[in-house]
Structure 1
Amino acid sequence: MATTPRQATPDSSPRTWRRARLIETGRVARRSARRRSLALATLAILVLAVVLVPLLVRLDQQLVDLRAAGLPPSLAHPFGTDEVGRDVLLRSIYGLRVSLLVGLVAAVVSATIGGLVGLAAGAAGGPLDRLLMRVVDGVNSMPHLLLGIFIVALFAPSAIAVIVSVGVTHWTTAARIVRSEVLSLRGRPFIDAAVSGGSSRLRIVRRHFLPNLAPHLLLATVLMVPHAIWHETALSFLGLGLPAHLASLGNMINDGQRSLLAGDWWSSLFPGLLILTPTLAIHALAQHLRDRANPRRRSELAL
């Protein structure tokens, strides 16, 4: 009985499979590029707003006008006014400036502490590594918000207290990232060659560890900014962050919740959106940086 030879279907052809993979990879790359462009545009608009608006609009953010109290959004007041007649848009921009500045400084402080701890643990090894990792486990075992509240309660409400609170409670992630990367670098051939050549430990850290750790520290810092912004907002909402007379997004949401029963929804909605928008944009930018730092992970996600 004659049999027909087995024909390869198009789906099983290696060439067709590679073409489909390239097409899918291109789609993922284009989608990632669109997200990156949108995130950069959003952050650029927000940064320009917080820099230029206070310079161009000569209005007092604390100006009270009881005749304009509780006005809904309009052309004169795009975000409406609060319960004492202050412009919500102007106060939101001032609050966003404070949140971005505090979040960025707190993220840098947190990444610096975590980077130093992770570098010391990974480079030294032995008992020091085990001791520092137990400290990291101990800090991680405590709720960050409760620990932050305890730290802020020791100081008067100020931006410095919030920065210290975030820096002390959020450095453990950066420490673990840096330690794992240092342990990976210690097994590389160029490190063995440097040790065999008589390089000191300090020279190895300066010439080999730090350049390879810079992208990971940058990514950890960018990822820490949204956490710092939310942390500052939560503390200000609880009345433990920035002083009540300063425009802060957390303070504005706390003040706006009293107006919700009167139907003034805009007093809390727009400051909340200004918290959500930069955090989503920064998160999208951090994903792009993570894909650039680890192209293999990006190709695996495209399968």
Structure 2
Amino acid sequence: MENHAVIKKTEKAEPVKERFGIREKTITSIVILSVFFIAILVAGSLIHTNSLYVDLTNIFIPPDGNHPFGTDWVGRDMLLRTVKGLSLSMKIGLLCSATSSLIAMLLGIVAPLLGGKADAFVSWLVDLLLSVPHTLVIILISVACGGGLKGIVIGVTATHWTSLTRIIRAEVLQIKEAEYTKISRRFGKGNWFIAKEHVLPHIIPQLVVGTVLIFPHAILHEASVTFLGFGLPAHEPAIGVILSESMKYLTSGKWWLAFFPGISLVMVSMMVNSIGRNIEKLINPKSANE
């Protein structure tokens, strides 16, 4: 009997221990990323364009103590260019992910509550945008908007709300059929009351996770479209611009021109994606106990 009790107690403790581990891991990741974010944003803001001066006496210097990321074809320090580019990509990613989440929240709540043609149209629009490669749509929207920062922000925002909208819509449809929602209807409560009192508190976890997971996709799409020449202009110190410019020098062995900016962008994307997945495990009891 005692052994049986110990086994049962251990089995109960395992999910709690696992959940605690995920929570600690998530909090640690968030703290590290927040410090990294703030450091990059502040450093990027402090780096003036004049700091990226041309120095033809220091062209193509490999990574060393004075230039950890090396220098480019006109002697500019690649560390400064990378930090400046990451800062710009992060700002664009934050803006696009926040705006996309707002669109997803509005459409994901309003469409199923209204039902009928409104819900059918939103579902059709989501399916349409998900069936077309995002990069292609972003390029078309960016070109139509005149390119530059405005074009890339509108393009990325317009293509990254769809998946989160589908998730929120599915949640709202379940809430719409719940007994407490039907009781509210019988008492004469309208869509606004139901959205505010029943829907919003329920979808906040999905909204938080969705916003975090949109961010890495947003910065990678911005960089890829800029790399192809349809995003930010060439004079901007963006990661996509840096990677595009470095391509013609890779065959001559100047690997650091693309390696450090590229790996920095990928690391930021992976860190944010990892945090999003860990938050998802915390708020989802099933995945937390797996």
TM value normalised by structure 1: 0.87
Matched, 1:267 2:253: no
Indicate the SS of the match to 1:257.
helix
Matched, 1:49 2:40: yes
1:162 is aligned to: 152
Q: Is the 8 A contact 2:44 2:87 kept in 1?
A: no
Indicate the SS of the match to 1:262.
coil
Choose the corresponding residue for 1:131, options 111, 121, 133: 121
Choose the corresponding residue for 1:202, options 170, 188, 192: 192
- Unmatched 5+ residue regions in structure 1? 1-7
What RMSD over aligned residues (CA atoms) do the two structures have, in Å?
2.2
1:62 is aligned to: 52
2:232 is aligned to: 242
2:7 is aligned to: 16
Q: Is the 8 A contact 1:96 1:275 kept in 2?
A: yes
Matched, 1:37 2:61: no
2:175 is aligned to: 185
In the alignment, residue 99 of structure 1 is paired with which amino acid? S
Post-superposition shift, 1:130? 2.1
TM value normalised by structure 2: 0.91
Indicate the SS of the match to 1:76.
coil
Choose the corresponding residue for 2:247, options 247, 251, 257: 257
Choose the corresponding residue for 1:84, options 74, 83, 90: 74
Post-superposition shift, 1:212? 2.0
Q: Is the 8 A contact 2:86 2:238 kept in 1?
A: yes
Tell me, in whole angstroms, the C-alpha distance in 1 between the residues paired with 2:178 and 2:6. Answer: 36
Q: Is the 8 A contact 2:26 2:279 kept in 1?
A: no
Post-superposition shift, 1:125? 2.0
Matched, 1:223 2:186: no
Post-superposition shift, 1:203? 1.9
Q: Is the 8 A contact 1:36 1:288 kept in 2?
A: no
Post-superposition Cα deviations, 1:202-249, rounded to whole Å, max 9, x if no partner, equal: 222122222222222121111100000000000111111111011011
In the alignment, residue 63 of structure 2 is paired with which amino acid? P
In the alignment, residue 120 of structure 2 is paired with which amino acid? R
User: Structure 1 residues 192 and 150, CA, compared in 2 at 3 Å: closer, same or farther?
Assistant: same
- Count of aligned pairs between the two proteins: 289
Post-superposition Cα deviations, 1:14-50, rounded to whole Å, max 9, x if no partner, equal: 7526515634652564256235414531441242133
Q: Is the 8 A contact 1:92 1:271 kept in 2?
A: yes
1:5 is aligned to: none
Post-superposition shift, 1:175? 1.0
- Unmatched 5+ residue regions in structure 2? none
Matched, 1:293 2:283: yes
Tell me, in whole angstroms, the C-alpha distance in 2 between the residues paired with 1:162 and 1:155. Answer: 9
Tell me, in whole angstroms, the C-alpha distance in 2 between the residues paired with 1:156 and 1:25. Answer: 53
Q: Is the 8 A contact 2:225 2:240 kept in 1?
A: yes
Q: Is the 8 A contact 1:82 1:267 kept in 2?
A: yes
Q: Is the 8 A contact 1:36 1:284 kept in 2?
A: no
User: Structure 1 residues 201 and 46, CA, compared in 2 at 3 Å: closer, same or farther?
Assistant: closer
Q: Is the 8 A contact 1:107 1:225 kept in 2?
A: yes
- Structure number having the greater helix percentage: 2
Choose the corresponding residue for 1:108, options 77, 95, 98: 98
User: Structure 1 residues 78 and 112, CA, compared in 2 at 3 Å: closer, same or farther?
Assistant: same
Tell me, in whole angstroms, the C-alpha distance in 2 between the residues paired with 1:283 and 1:43. Answer: 14
User: Structure 1 residues 31 and 214, CA, compared in 2 at 3 Å: closer, same or farther?
Assistant: closer
Post-superposition shift, 1:287? 1.4
Is the deviation greater in 62-71 or in 198-207? Answer: 198-207
Percent of aligned pairs with the same amino acid: 30
Tell me, in whole angstroms, the C-alpha distance in 2 between the residues paired with 1:174 and 1:34. Answer: 25
Q: Is the 8 A contact 2:243 2:257 kept in 1?
A: yes
